[in-house]
């Protein structure tokens, strides 16, 4: 089978994580920037799976490679799952430091700080008629302060304390994060699935 896959993202952190996990299996991962492509269909679904499929199908219509796409977000129990599917677009134009501080402030008087990172990754190979979704989650809570000295990570990582790692994602090495993060878990399932496909 063709071992080149397009990852439908411009997020450098996500691209790095996917490459770290799939390139050792012999896959070549191309980003949208590599092919000068962009997702033009609005990501207007109400679920991670819906938005992931929108991105995969949009990019698959513009190239001849199999496509991987993900839609991820942070879901906070005390805020009824907010920001959820709006995680990337909420407070658009503001930095993640600003967004993270607003989340901390929103939870200031709430005893329940529990949260989970969720991702759905879609694999779409239109030539073979394959479309499959993979779910990954990681449970934790929102920290009371933004990590002042992050060593890794991006987005909400400086305020997400992972129960698995016993530290924020921003204090985890790439290897530690890949081993148990929401995206890491989903990509592991993608890798298992890819290994079952016959040439």
Nearest residue to 106 via CA among 87, 133, 79, 132: 79
Whether 68 and 123 have beta carbons less than 8 Å apart is answered as yes
How does DSSP assign 94-131, residue by residue? S-HHHHHHHHHHHTTT-S--EEEEEEEEEEEETTTTEE
Which one of the listed residues 58, 70, 71, 178 is annotated catalytic?
71
Q: Residue 131 contacts by C-beta under 8 Å, 6 or more apart in sequence? A: 53, 56, 122, 123, 124, 125
Strands 4-7 vs 28-31: parallel, antiparallel or unpaired: parallel
CB neighbourhood size of 128 (10 A)? 11
Q: Is residue 59 within a helix (H) or strand (E), and if so which, with residue range?
A: helix 48-60
105 is catalytic: no
Nearest to 45 by CA among 67, 69, 29: 69
Residues in the chain: 199
Q: Tokens at residue 116, please?
A: 């989970």
Running DSSP on this structure, what letter comes out for residue 65? S
Residues designated as active site = 71
């Amino acid at each position: 089978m063709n071992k080149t896959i397009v990852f439908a993202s411009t997020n450098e952190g996500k691209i790095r994580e996917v490459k770290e996990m799939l390139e050792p299996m012999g896959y070549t991962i191309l980003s949208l920037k590599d092919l000068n492509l962009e997702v033009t269909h609005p990501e207007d679904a109400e679920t991670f799976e819906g938005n992931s499929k929108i991105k995969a199908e949009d990019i698959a219509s513009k190239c001849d490679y199999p496509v991987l796409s993900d839609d991820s977000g942070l879901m906070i129990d005390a805020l009824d799952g907010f920001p959820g599917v709006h995680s990337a677009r909420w407070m658009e134009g503001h930095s993640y430091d600003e967004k993270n501080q607003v989340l901390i402030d929103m939870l200031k008087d709430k005893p329940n700080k529990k949260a989970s990172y969720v991702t759905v990754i879609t694999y779409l190979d239109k030539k073979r008629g394959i479309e499959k979704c993979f779910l990954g989650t990681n449970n934790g809570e929102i920290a009371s302060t933004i990590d002042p000295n992050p060593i890794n990570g991006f987005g909400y990582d400086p305020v997400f304390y992972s129960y698995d790692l016993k530290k924020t994602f921003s204090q985890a090495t790439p290897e530690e994060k890949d081993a148990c993060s929401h995206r890491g878990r989903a990509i592991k399932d993608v890798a298992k699935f890819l290994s079952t496909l016959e040439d």
